[in-house]
């Protein structure tokens, strides 16, 4: 019995491991490789995703409050629902807490505060916390599983040659905040809010799904990494013009395209989708929607700066290759 088809994955050490896991699962693997698992249930489609946030990998307790840690973890998982054009129903959370459990004051329990943040993020998109698990752990761990429904799910597969490539919002804010925090400085409040409380683009994802999106992915690993995943999944080449990439003030385009944990949406839209439709999107969501490139014949992603080819930094990789030598 041959294993079921799965969505082709792009380059990177993390995705090499996922390919090996899929091969190891063999016929026990479902249709893997998308932002969400999509499960037909009667007349609807259940969309499910899970996202883990680990202390000192995804967050630091000296940078973020515990409610911010919870919000950020939930928003990361909810962003996967946005990428499939799904409507959230709720979240289940596995929470790992160190022995000392209380890290805020004599009266405030970190576990409670983290879950308060999770609940606030869920409530912001009309969902609820449905349950979970609580364990003792060496470091804080917030593992969020989200459930939603999708009338017309949009996957990473589906982009066609000639489709325009668009992105929501502005890029680089998370990287700008991270750069300031690593230098021991407190970022500007608006930039810090972008880092600590990212907004899952649920309403935007549903609008794009209803208005012809052919493929979509959220920018959790940065535009560089996630554009490569969309190109691999859809079997197209992608051309991106750096001068068109919408960037936060003070963030150069090369930094903006490599900035991870942006949680904006990268979406392929057919040629009939143009500026009039983009204006309607902006009016509906008070959010920029910018065309940054095109889906073309070929494979991989090509970047240009005013027509000249340019090399870009690598996106985030949980399992980067060892340095040479």
Residue 108 confidence (pLDDT) above 90: no
* Sign, CA torsion 40/17/168/51: positive
Residues recorded for the chain? 325
267 vs 284: CA distance, rounded Å: 17
| Measured distance CA(255)–CA(242) in Å, rounded | 11
What's the rounded mean pLDDT across residues 205-223?
Answer: 97
**Confidence class for position 88, pLDDT limits 50, 70, 90:** very high
25-149 placed in CATH 3.30.1330.10: yes
pLDDT at 31 over 90: no
pTM: 0.93
Nearest to 212 by CA among 252, 160, 148: 160
CB count in 10 Å sphere of residue 184: 6
- Quickly state the pLDDT bin for 237 (edges 50, 70, 90): very high
Specify the residue for token string 């946030």: 53
Per the prediction, the chain carries an average pLDDT of 93
Region 39-43 average pLDDT:
92
Cα separation, 72 vs 228, whole angstroms: 24
* Correct CATH for 164-309 of 3.40.50.2000, 3.60.21.10, 3.90.650.10, 3.20.20.150: 3.90.650.10
CB 262 within 8 A of CB 169: yes
Task: Decide: residue 190, CB within 10 A, 0-12 exposed, 13-18 middle, 19+ buried.
Answer: exposed
Segment 114-133, tens digit of pLDDT: 999 999 999 999 999 999 99
| Token pair in block for residue 252 | 């150069």
- Break the chain into its structural domains and give their ranges: 25-149, 164-309
Chain centroid offset of residue 96 CA = 22
The tokens for 214 are: 């052919």
Give the distance from CA 29 to its chain's centroid: 23
pLDDT of residue 97: 95
| Distance separating alpha carbons of residues 42 and 88, to the nearest angstrom | 18
What residues contact residue 20 under an 8 Å CB cut-off, 6+ apart? Answer: none
> Which of 85, 234, 83 lies closest to 153, judged by CA?
85
CA distance 217 to 266: 5
């Amino acid at each position: 019995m041959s294993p079921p088809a799965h969505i082709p994955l792009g380059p990177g050490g993390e995705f090499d491991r996922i390919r090996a896991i899929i091969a190891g699962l063999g016929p026990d693997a479902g249709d893997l490789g998308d932002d969400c698992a999509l499960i037909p249930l009667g007349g609807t489609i259940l969309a499910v995703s899970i996202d883990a946030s680990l202390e000192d990998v995804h967050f630091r307790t000296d940078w973020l409050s515990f409610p911010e840690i919870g919000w950020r973890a939930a928003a990361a998982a909810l962003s996967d629902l946005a990428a499939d054009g799904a409507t959230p129903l709720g979240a289940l959370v596995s929470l790992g807490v160190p022995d000392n459990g209380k890290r805020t004051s004599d009266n405030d329990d970190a576990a409670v505060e983290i879950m308060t943040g999770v609940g606030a993020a869920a409530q912001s998109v009309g969902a609820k916390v449905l349950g979970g698990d609580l364990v003792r752990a060496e470091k804080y761990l917030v593992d969020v599983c989200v459930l939603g429904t999708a009338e017309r799910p949009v996957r990473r597969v589906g982009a066609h040659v000639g489709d325009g490539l668009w992105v929501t919002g502005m890029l680089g804010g998370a990287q700008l905040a991270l750069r300031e925090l690593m230098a021991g400085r407190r970022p500007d409040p608006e930039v810090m809010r972008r880092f600590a409380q990212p907004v899952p683009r649920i309403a935007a994802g549903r609008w794009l799904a209803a208005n012809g999106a052919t493929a979509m992915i959220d920018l959790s690993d940065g535009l560089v990494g996630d554009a490569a995943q969309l190109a691999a999944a859809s079997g197209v080449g992608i051309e991106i013009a750096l001068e068109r990439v919408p960037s936060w003030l003070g963030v150069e385009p090369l930094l903006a395209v490599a900035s991870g944990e942006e949680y904006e949406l990268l979406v392929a839209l057919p040629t009939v989708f143009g500026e009039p439709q983009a204006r309607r999107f902006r009016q509906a969501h008070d959010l920029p929607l910018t065309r940054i490139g095109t889906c073309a014949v070929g494979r991989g992603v090509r970047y240009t700066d005013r027509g000249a080819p340019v090399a870009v930094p690598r996106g985030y990789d949980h399992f980067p290759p060892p340095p040479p030598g």
